[in-house]
Copies of this chain bind each other. A is one copy, B any other.
């Protein structure tokens, strides 16, 4: 961190020089509000009050909430806690209430809200001007109100809106006082005072950029606006520094809001850190974009990079399961969903500034609240006028990388089954080392889980609400995921420097046939000398009750390795077609790379060509059928070893271990079938419908799997491993029969 300190010294000078307000305040005062609310929009909202149910309901709720806060009085603790602690939570609360009170003042034209905002802002002004850096030292960029600049930025994004709403209510003298002692130094501190935080392509920086930009728009301070859009002028950071999470601070020198749109979003709108962080970043992206759209329409921000901001909302909604919960790719906390307020912003803005997609209205209906601005009014009116249709999620392939050339994420959907297949790039510092991993869902419930992060966000008792050390030692490691681990070592040796240079490559994606959805991708860098090609399909077959998953993982290596292939199932073992031993005492599976966190609960040698495991979870039956040979070891493991603070969930996995193999193939199906009700106590369709899986061909170019149902019908799936374009023509012979087709795969 030495270079930061030097940098800070240098910048302190720069910072002092810039303390005076440089903008000319050319905007007419009457033009406020202008940022999120607009004069025109407020007039329209006022005229509609009482006639648009969901808007009125939201307004009523917000009014009740803010009235209670006003009655309770302003609380302004001296900053001292981490996330989850009192001072942290209070200032977080204050920023939200300020924003809401500002909006209420505009919509209801009741001075009590403006006065409340003014009073609180003045208290902040009084405190901030002498406030030292936050006493908690854990962050790479400490804030003043909060332990990290990130939270200070959150605050300014909200409070800028409040300030805009009461701008005309305040006297010029009051505004000067606030701008000089609070807003300007605040904006400077989180930017030029903390370039290691601000001057990056990272979701943290996006918040910083938006904060600086939004207060700049309100104050009409072009320098701040430019700093927001393009980064701190003429500043270059050391490109080899890393942040707390192990990510590079600023490897390529890019910075500013536009760079933060440019870099992390693929042309399809996939955000490189995954949906959990996209959700977090979404609010500053969109709220600042809305502000820019209103104040600087000439920037055409919603058209930037071919409209990627609005595309990203569609991508994000598609990255949620049937319940609206985001798939926990990378460092995702489970349970985060499109019910979060950032997604209310996203859905409303997408509807209003986009193409008025009626499917968004059904999500807004489920959210049961709207933004109290022009976009929220549009949505509320759409719902009121009966325009809502259901938002149909289909199979979708989302490219990763600024140009869409760094792998991606494919989601296969059929009926209630959803498969999320990750063949993306590293995902910045929040990425996990899980190339070609997947998770599987039925109607929003996990069948095979991705563990998500090891963190209890904002729960102070658990490591201050921050990342726990098990996030690195377990959640990020390859063995924690449904993919291949070679020689008990994580992909890229779990090294960010290496992982972030590579990405997997799409072999093909095919969703034209509604009964057969397929994604196939290759990873050649996770283990030098080893190539993995994984082809995953969700297949609807009349002999099976529900669509099933077919998974073909082809591993080619130039030397013999041990391959571990886990299935993170949830629930309780029902039965197996192999005998296994259970140990008297539980030992760990290994000593490092995540293995130290797994207990071995059972061991077996595979005894037949198809090993089967059935389990029961939340009243539903599932069966895994996997091709095995007599040397394969089968393991039951459980997460939770070397976990001295009970930070990990005690969940199970089944694992196939193949030793001393060079080129090999893992072929499995997972069926969801039947169900059990504890009320009727009846078990329906509790047995697998797949009688046999058979490998009938495996060459460099093709792999063919034969699936025989319990009813005796035989299906053949042939995947093209090399020449897999839609147009490619194939002719091959299997067991003396010729197969001819064109396209990526054959199924019949």
Contacts and interface: CB of A to CB of B under 8 A. Distances in A.
A573 B461 CA distance: 10
B336 A84 contact: no
B642 A461 contact: no
Contacts of A335: 677-679
A681 B458 contact: yes
Contacts of A333: 678, 681
Given A679-B337, A683-B458, A686-B84, A649 B572 contact: yes
Contacts of A644: 581-582
A585 to B, nearest CB: 5
A601 B647 CA distance: 13
Contacts of A572: 646, 649
A461 B614 contact: yes
29 contacts: A84-B683, A84-B686, A89-B682, A333-B678, A336-B678, A337-B679, A339-B679, A341-B680, A456-B616, A457-B681, A458-B676, A458-B681, A458-B682, A458-B683, A459-B616, A459-B676, A459-B686, A460-B686, A461-B574, A461-B575, A461-B686, A462-B575, A573-B645, A573-B646, A582-B643, A585-B587, A586-B586, A636-B646, A650-B652
A340 interface: yes
Contacts of A351: none
How many monomers of this protein are in the complex? 2
Given A584-B588, A584-B642, A340 B459 contact: no
A459 B678 contact: no
Contact of A336 (B573, B640, B681): B681
A588 B586 CA distance: 9
Interface in A604-620: 614, 616
A449 B457 CA distance: 27
A247 to B, nearest CB: 21
Q: Top 5 A-B pairs ranked by shortest CB distance?
A: A335-B678, A573-B646, A586-B586, A461-B575, A461-B574
A103 to B, nearest CB: 19
Given A678-B335, A678-B336, A574 B459 contact: yes
Most chain B beta carbons < 10 A, residue from A586, A601, A602, A650: A586
A645 B599 CA distance: 16
A175 interface: no
Interface residues of A, number: 55
A584 to B, nearest CB: 7
Contacts of A636: 646
A184 interface: no
Interface in A495-520: none
A673 interface: no
Interface string A331-368: 00111110111000000000000000000000000000
A680 B614 CA distance: 36
Given A336-B678, A586-B599, 6 more contacts: A335-B678, A458-B683, A459-B616, A465-B683, A584-B641, A585-B588
Most chain B beta carbons < 10 A, residue from A84, A335, A683: A683
A462 B573 CA distance: 9
Given A334-B678, A336-B678, A574-B461, A585 B585 contact: yes
A638 interface: yes
A725 to B, nearest CB: 42
A677 to B, nearest CB: 8
